[in-house]
Amino acid sequence: MDIRHAMAGAALAICLVSPTQLLAAATTDATLVQRHKFDIHIQPLSGALRQLSAQSGVRILFPYDEVAAIRSRHVQGWMSTKEALARLLAGTNLSSAPAGAGVIALASPANRSIARRSPLALQYAQANIAGAETLTMAPAPEPVEDSTPIIVTGTRTTTRTVAESLAPIDVLGAKDLETSGKQSVRDLLGTLVPSINVSNNGAGASWAVRTLSLRGLGGDQLLVLVNGKRRHNTATLFINGSVQNGQSPPDLDLIPGNAIQRIEVLRDGASAQYGSDAIAGVVNVILKNDTSGGAALTMGSTADNGGWQGRWQVDKGFSIGPDGGYIHLSADGALQDNTITKSSPITGQFYPTGDPRNADPDRIRAKYGQPQVIGGNVGYDAMIPVGDALELYSFGTYSKRHAAGWLTYRTPAALNNIYELYPEGYIPRIHVYDEDFQVAGGLRGEVGGGVHFDLSTTYAQDAVKYSQTTSLNPSMGTASPTRFYLGKIRFDEWTSNLDLSKELDVGLAGPLALAVGAEYKKNWFLIGQGDPESYIDGRYRSPAGTWLAGQVRTGVGSQGVTGFLPEGSGEWSRDNWSAYVNLEGKIVEGLEFGLAGRHEDYSDFGTTDTGKASIRIEPTRGFAIRGTASTGFRAPTLQQQHYASSSTINVPVNGVNQLLPVQALPVDGIAARALGAVSLKPEKSTNFSAGIVLTPAPNLNLTVDAYQIKIRDRILLSETLSGTVVMNALAAAGIQGVAGGLIFSNAADTRTRGLDIVSTYRAGLGGMGTATFSLSANFNKTIFTHIDPVPSVIAASGLALIGRAKIGDLSEGTPRNKFIANILWEKDDFNLNLRATRFGKITQRASARVYHTSDYAACTAGSAGCTLDYVDEVLNPKTILDLEVGYKLAKGVKLSVGANNLLNTYPNKLKPVNRTAGSLYNAYAPYGISGGFYYGRFNLEF
């Protein structure tokens, strides 16, 4: 006990010395910059300091009164003692200073009096002191998640926490990933982040792609990073998919879910920091970099519509060498069957005239629902130290996926059917084969003078092949094949970065963090033509004595999706370079700022400059005000500039919806130019955000952020253009057998305003365990502030590039508001997660007038009570419940059961006149049309 009092007295004497005297007396200690492999778990900060001491050999003197109530964060990896300590103290009010050789003293704010403390209020954390009693504390239960995680997105510093961020950011950790019940990264984000919605519909060649919308903007206005490096986009262009038309964003399904340590979502424009695509924000996927391991098997199905799913996952980390190197390997595989949801009766004539079966045919033929999928993803993250200050690193993913789904039913008597081949009609089945990879490598570390660098290069490719079965080319008649190879597309991206950072002492309250960097990026896009039978015009006329004798059949090329034509095939490329500068600092205590600027130079459309300014004011601890102002841009993708394919979609003809092929037209092609198209230019944005952060207690956090995003020259895919002028332009370009065209343009400006609210409370329930409560919401509204005049060549036909349907998709096609309430209860080996998500009102606007009765049934022009008007669809607000219950059977063994959409809720049914070809439910619903999914999962940890 005398030794302990002597130590405490010495500690008290050291702490009574003023910080300036302490700093003046201390010299730079080489032990603080030595690198060690740290593994410090979440626990009371006092225990974490002892672990740091034991793992580094440095003694730490700390004030117990301030430290006792603080929970540490998880610190893991190869770093210097100084950096590890900074991460432990980030978000606290404690500062550190050298106190002699191998000793660090922690100090509380100056307004706290240490003279009132008892001698034992100051304690040592140490690796070992000969003859001294060890100061021990009762351990506390270790939570799985860190309530104040350090972020790496939207900042160039390494010690900033979520609560201290200059802009709103969400962090989804291991527990969120495990208990969400979602089977993909994309659905996880749509479930847990209120400002993100998932698109669940599409058509044609883009049918297998589902995208994200952040703050009501498009999926390609959201930048995706992996370990802070740009993730490549999918090769596929999303066509005919409501609010996400004309986009080719990154496909998050191709990242192994079990490879992820956490996901950071920056809800703020960040083009000045990261470049193109970050208008809405940034999703940064951080891969696992430890030596843990696990495996999981999930099985489930929907309640009513089949669609069983199976997913297996396994991952494990391994040490490399004695100096903290590692490699973490991950793999997951998925099997998913089609769901076949309830459909509506298909109207009209089924069989040839005179066939007695026309009296009462089976009119339920459609097969709408989720696709059938078989695929697998593998990933790795690796690092090897090189000397004392450098490390080589690499990470990557590889994926293969085959998705197959049913398109739209064609009746036996239809003009686009050959009765001799399909006497019962047919449904084209499209097959999408994805092969995707990304690999990154680099060298990072310190080069002297406190300058940190990161030199990296990343190469990625997404290659997609399309084929179709149970289809035909009606223009070839009975000679048509029923299987088609439609062609391929491929997108490649090569990105190289050099990032430099250094902390400067310029007399401010804290160091000034300076970061500069440069990036070079090159893209390639390829379209490979399909088999001739998938696109040729066979000019078939039914012979005499057969059904539809003498008539030219509707449809040229394979039905459903037409193959890529030779005229639209080719390879295109572009490159760009950029440079940025970023400053962050603390002017005085409670006042922080951030500044960023970026210059980009593209080979195909010139240069652009962006900037960002951020400020955070904390007048009192636990309450802060933050705000940002920034400009941004998004370059048109090569896909948007060059994609050319046709799909069979609904086209209103004389007031009646008909399934007809429509061609996506390259903006620089002959047909698009004839319709008034001009070359695309980048979108430009202006973002403003302001909010408050309340952290009145370590376990309670509330953020409220308002935002406004103005986008000029927004790149949008047009309405379906049809009619005589369009047909003439298509014919002049050699495009035959299609009923309309789609072209891109910078024809509109939009303004999005909204509000994000996120609150979290973690409570100890005594003998009842612990509970985490969260309540979050997003309110969002987009309006069009300007639409360019309609090109004169199509204006006379009454056509518009941006019409009421396109305006409706962007202004009303996603929920105007979204609320998420979640409770996670944990007691011993048992946990329960219950989540309620309320999606606000959605409106699907019609693009053209159709004939209908007062009860919205289709009718014929001129008949009694028949009206020609727009028939919009309204999705009423719905609340979706998700539930998961888990139990640990033994150490490292867990069994869980759960339900996504527990109450088996479906979206509104379409009005009869809009139930084209058997569709019944509104596919604009962000929760899909397949109903509830119920599953069981078995987890192992090793």
**Token pair for residue 845?**
């606007």
Between residues 288 and 98, the one the model is more confident about = 288
pLDDT recorded at residue 655: 64
Q: What percent of the chain has pLDDT over 70?
A: 89
Mean pLDDT taken over the chain:
86
What residues contact residue 676 under an 8 Å CB cut-off, 6+ apart? Answer: 790, 791, 792, 793, 794, 801
Q: At residue 651, does pLDDT exceed 80?
A: no
pLDDT band at residue 128 under the 50/70/90 scheme? very low
Task: Give me the mean pLDDT over the 304-322 stretch.
Answer: 93
E strands of 321-428, at which residues?
325-336, 372-386, 390-406
Q: At residue 115, does pLDDT exceed 50?
A: no
Let me know: does 271 contact 279? Beta carbons within 8 Å.
yes
Between residues 556 and 909, the one the model is more confident about = 909
Q: How many angstroms separate the first and last alpha carbons of the chain?
A: 42
Task: Give me the mean pLDDT over the 51-64 stretch.
Answer: 81
Q: What percent of the chain has pLDDT over 90?
A: 57
pLDDT band at residue 125 under the 50/70/90 scheme? low
Task: Give me the mean pLDDT over the 167-183 stretch.
Answer: 81
Residue with tokens 């309670």: 700
pLDDT band at residue 450 under the 50/70/90 scheme? confident
Q: At residue 766, does pLDDT exceed 90?
A: no
Query: Nearest 5°: CA angle at 398, between 393 and 399?
Result: 155
Q: At residue 749, does pLDDT exceed 60?
A: yes
Q: Residue 208's CB: how many other CB atoms inside 10 A?
A: 24
Let me know: does 376 contact 317? Beta carbons within 8 Å.
no
Range picked from 83-92, 647-656, 878-887 for highest mean pLDDT: 878-887
Let me know: does 443 contact 375? Beta carbons within 8 Å.
no
Q: Residue 639's CB: how many other CB atoms inside 10 A?
A: 25
Among the residue ranges 114-128, 191-205, 685-699, the one predicted with the least confidence is: 114-128
**Token pair for residue 355?**
């066939």
What residues contact residue 839 under an 8 Å CB cut-off, 6+ apart? Answer: 197, 815, 818, 875, 877, 878, 879, 880, 925, 926, 927
Count how many Cα atoms sit within 13 Å of the Cα of residue 933 in the half-sphere of its side chain.
23
pTM score, two decimals? 0.86
Per-residue pLDDT of 144-169, as tens digits, reads 455 566 777 877 776 677 778 889 99
Let me know: does 879 contact 837? Beta carbons within 8 Å.
yes
Task: Give me the mean pLDDT over the 633-660 stretch.
Answer: 80
Per-residue pLDDT of 710-741, as tens digits, reads 999 999 998 888 888 888 888 888 887 788 88
Per-residue pLDDT of 796-854, as tens digits, reads 888 889 989 889 999 998 899 999 999 999 999 999 999 999 999 999 999 889 999 99
Among the residue ranges 402-406, 490-494, 648-652, the one predicted with the least confidence is: 648-652
DSSP H or E stretch at residue 49 = helix 45-56
pLDDT band at residue 27 under the 50/70/90 scheme? very low
Query: Nearest 5°: CA angle at 209, between 205 and 214?
Result: 135
Q: For residues 263 and 281, what is the distance between their CA atoms, to the nearest angstrom?
A: 13
Q: At residue 324, does pLDDT exceed 90?
A: no
Which residues are paired to 198 by β-bridges? 212
Per-residue pLDDT of 562-588, as tens digits, reads 899 898 899 999 999 999 999 999 999
Per-residue HEC secondary structure of 737-768 comes to CCCEEECEEEEEEEEEEEEEEEEEEEEECHHH
The DSSP bridge pattern shows strands 281-287 and 260-266 to be antiparallel
Range picked from 3-7, 185-189, 577-581 for highest mean pLDDT: 577-581
Q: At residue 16, does pLDDT exceed 70?
A: no
Q: For residues 267 and 628, what is the distance between their CA atoms, to the nearest angstrom?
A: 11
Helical pair 45-56 and 81-89, crossing angle rounded to 10 deg: 180
Among the residue ranges 14-23, 367-376, 512-521, 917-926, the one predicted with the least confidence is: 14-23
Q: Shortest CA distance to 680 belongs to which of 671, 692, 668, 690?
A: 668
CA dihedral 15, 17, 23, 24 (to 10 degrees): -160
